[in-house]
């Protein structure tokens, strides 16, 4: 696997037989796991708000938070390309703010940034791309629009909404996005978008016809208690395993079985004796 897939390499995977695989990671150990699994891209998502920091939505994380988590991921030096989320209100206040905040994420170790929204984001996408920073788009169920959508709801379910999503995807691709995440939309709409735009689509709850798929690390590995959307496929139950491992350790501590002699540092015989009689 090459070190660091680049934005042009991701773009060149459009329509290829090798779907892009992206998973979120938020710190060095999760980045090392994603690297070990040889995924193509790591997303330092603003989902960190919900799966790591305990918030009910993604609106509570700031650029400082994303910089902190992106730097932790980057310190693991993972081979997958690192994409960092621009959080809510980091690009809604104008092009200069958007470029400045995108640059902070790049300096923290990301190779690209992602932002949410359609045609109305074209000016900021162009500004960030003009600053030589690769930008990934994100359409459909965009969690930063939680309040205006009236909750985490599947989008693009009627003809007008579906057409608007197709137009949004074209606008983002033309503005310079090198790939677009499609989240929580019907499969036919995702298929239509995927077939009609020149950059890869990466789906989450958007069916099988995208150029790639993304899931949240904690969802795939069963590290979370939250009710999962139907698009999540869980491949492990690490929360159950972790609880049972900690229970076993606690039982060993309480019974005196931990630590063993082999898990203990010793002084050499003479010093131990001298200390005992001192």
Task: Tell me which of 154, 175, 177, 181 binds ligand KIV, using CB under 6 A.
Answer: 181
Taking the C-alpha atoms of residue 9 and residue 13, their distance in angstroms, rounded to an integer, is 7
b/e per residue, 195-209, with b = 16+ CB within 10 A? eebebbbbbbbbbeb
Residue whose CB is less far from ligand KIV, 121 or 138? 138
Does 40 bind ligand KIV (CB under 6 A)? Our answer is no
Q: State the nearest-atom distance from the C-beta of 171 to ligand KIV, in Å.
A: 19
Backbone φ and ψ for 213, nearest 5 degrees, come out as -135, 150
Does 90 bind ligand KIV (CB under 6 A)? Our answer is no
Task: Tell me which of 216, 218, 219, 221 binds ligand KIV, using CB under 6 A.
Answer: 216
Taking the C-alpha atoms of residue 106 and residue 86, their distance in angstroms, rounded to an integer, is 11
Both tokens assigned to 213? 């798929």
Residue whose CB is less far from ligand KIV, 40 or 183? 183
Q: What is the largest CA-CA distance in the chain?
A: 87
Taking the C-alpha atoms of residue 57 and residue 50, their distance in angstroms, rounded to an integer, is 6
Q: Which residue has the tokens 């965009």?
A: 142
Nearest position to ligand KIV, beta carbon: 45
| Residue 183 among the catalytic residues | yes
Is residue 152 helix, strand or coil? coil
Residue whose CB is less far from ligand KIV, 92 or 255? 92
Query: Total binding residues for ligand KIV by CB under 6 A?
Result: 12
**According to CB under 6 A, which residues from 2 to 31 bind ligand KIV?**
24
Stretch that binds ligand KIV, among 40-48, 105-113, 124-132, 167-175 (CB under 6 A): 40-48
Does 204 bind ligand KIV (CB under 6 A)? Our answer is yes
**For the packed helices 95-108 and 63-75, what is the interaxial angle rounded to 10 degrees?**
30
Active-site residue (options: 116, 132, 174, 183): 183
Q: Looking at the annotation, which residues are catalytic?
A: 183
């Amino acid at each position: 696997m090459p070190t660091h897939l680049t934005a042009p390499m991701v773009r060149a995977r459009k329509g290829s037989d090798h779907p892009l695989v992206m998973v979120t990671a938020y710190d060095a150990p999760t980045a090392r796991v994603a690297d070990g699994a040889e995924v193509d891209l790591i997303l330092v998502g603003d989902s960190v708000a919900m799966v790591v920091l305990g918030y009910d939505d993604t609106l509570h994380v700031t650029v400082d938070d994303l910089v902190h988590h992106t730097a932790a991921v980057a310190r693991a030096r993972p081979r997958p390309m690192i994409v960092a989320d621009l959080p809510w209100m980091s690009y809604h206040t104008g092009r200069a703010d958007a470029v400045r905040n995108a640059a902070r994420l790049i300096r923290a170790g990301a190779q690209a940034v992602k932002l949410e929204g359609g045609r109305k984001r074209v000016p900021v996408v162009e500004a960030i791309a003009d600053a030589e920073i690769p930008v990934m788009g994100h359409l459909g169920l965009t969690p930063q629009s939680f309040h205006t959508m009236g909750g985490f709801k599947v989008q693009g379910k009627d003809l007008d909404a579906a057409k608007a999503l197709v137009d949004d995807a074209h606008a983002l691709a033309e503005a310079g996005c090198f790939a677009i995440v499609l989240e929580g939309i019907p499969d036919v709409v995702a298929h239509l978008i995927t077939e009609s735009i020149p950059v890869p689509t990466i789906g989450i709850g958007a069916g099988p016809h995208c150029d790639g798929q993304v899931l949240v690390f904690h969802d795939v590995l069963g590290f979370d208690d939250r009710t999962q959307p139907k698009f999540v496929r869980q491949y492990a139950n690490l929360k159950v395993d972790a609880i049972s491992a900690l229970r076993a350790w606690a039982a060993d501590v309480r019974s005196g079985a931990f630590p063993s002699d082999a898990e203990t540092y010793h002084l050499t015989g003479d010093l131990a004796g001298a200390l005992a009689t001192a």
